[in-house]
Amino acid sequence: MGRILTLTFLLSLLFVTARAQDVLVRKNGSTIEGKVTEVGIDKVLYKISQEANAANFVIRKNELLRIEFGNGQTIWFDKRRERSNERIGERGHERNAPMVQDEELGKNKFDISPFKALDSGPGFGISYERILDKNGNFGLLLPLTVTVADSYYFPIGSESTDNDEMYYFSPTLKIYPFGQKRVTYAVGPTLYAGVGKHWYQYTDYNPTTQVYTSRDEERERFRMGMIVNNFVNFQITKHFQIGLNAGVGPRYIDRDKFDSKVYRTRGMEITGEFNFNLGFRF
């Protein structure tokens, strides 16, 4: 009789162990029960059926707080929460305890750019960005930029073409391939349009009179094109951030007007941009 009871107990234990499920705990507190088949670099594969040919499901690791395996092992993806849990000493009761939300980064960003460099000159600007989706893979950036003339001094005997005072509006679609993290990379197209002033000074020399004659022109300028920008954002605290971006792209329109006449129209050329910004996230 004792042997039968022992054999029954061992078979039951083996059955329970074989049927034990893994629990994937999300950062928002919800859970998924299934069988983890692979823990990759940035994603976890799992099945919700015990059958060998069952379909695999995928979840990103940045959505998970931890995985509780059926054999009793627990893997944490949030080390801060793991250390906090060890200090509190509630590891055995946490599954039934209310989940404490992990710090989530805000979906709104407001940036000030004390320095910007464009092909039309140095400048500064402000911008607003809104994260569009739940996973933080897409954002809409709306910057306003002002560039100032490098110099209003023109050497004698030269023609200057690099003195612009421009106002740019450049909406951008930002794509975050890895979501929102403490150090975040994004890439995306920027469509820009700029209006402003462009100063020309011509200096002519008359060999007969040996006299230099100067004439100045203040032209109205319009530019439009597209830039493919690369962005890197450093989230220093939950609300304070530092950002950099740089990119190049084609300029389709670059036109000057003077006295209601089109003075200069260029074809497609290359435009570049570099930007440093400080921001607040909320």
pLDDT of residue 173: 97
For residues 32-55, average pLDDT: 84
pLDDT at 42 over 60: yes
Beta bridge partners of 144: 126, 169
pLDDT of residue 112: 97
pLDDT of residue 155: 43
pLDDT at 97 over 60: no
Q: Contact at 8 Å (CB) between 47 and 22?
A: no
pLDDT tens digits, one per residue of 181-218: 889 999 999 999 999 988 777 677 778 877 777 777 78
Q: Which residue has the higher pLDDT, 82 or 68?
A: 68
A 10 A CB-CB count for 47 gives 18
Q: Contact at 8 Å (CB) between 246 and 274?
A: yes
Q: How far is CA 144 from CA 30, 31, 82, 127, in A?
A: 41, 43, 43, 6
Domain 2-88 grouped into CATH 2.30.30.100: yes
- Please provide residue 208's backbone torsions phi and psi, each rounded to the nearest 5 degrees: -70, -50
Tokens of 73: 């092992």
Q: Which of 72-76, 147-151, 193-197, 255-259 has the lowest mean pLDDT?
A: 147-151
Task: Provide the phi-psi class of 210: left if phi over 0, else alpha when psi is between -120 and 50, else beta.
Answer: left
Q: Contact at 8 Å (CB) between 224 and 253?
A: yes
Q: Which of 190, 193, 200 is nearest to 256 (CA)?
A: 200
DSSP characters over 194-212? EEEEEEEEEEEEETTTTEE
Fold for domain 108-281? Porin (2.40.160)
Q: Which of 139, 135, 195, 137 is nearest to 172 (CA)?
A: 139
The pLDDT confidence band at residue 150, using thresholds 50, 70 and 90, is: low
Tokens of 132: 């569009």
A 10 A CB-CB count for 250 gives 13
pLDDT of residue 222: 92
pLDDT of residue 214: 75
Q: Which of 268, 240, 273 is nearest to 255 (CA)?
A: 268
pLDDT of residue 82: 57
Q: What is the SS3 assignment for 80?
A: helix
For residues 62-90, average pLDDT: 75
pLDDT at 84 over 50: yes
For residues 12-21, average pLDDT: 52
The pLDDT confidence band at residue 154, using thresholds 50, 70 and 90, is: very low
Q: What is the SS3 assignment for 17?
A: helix
Domain regions of the chain by residue span: 2-88, 108-281
pTM score? 0.59
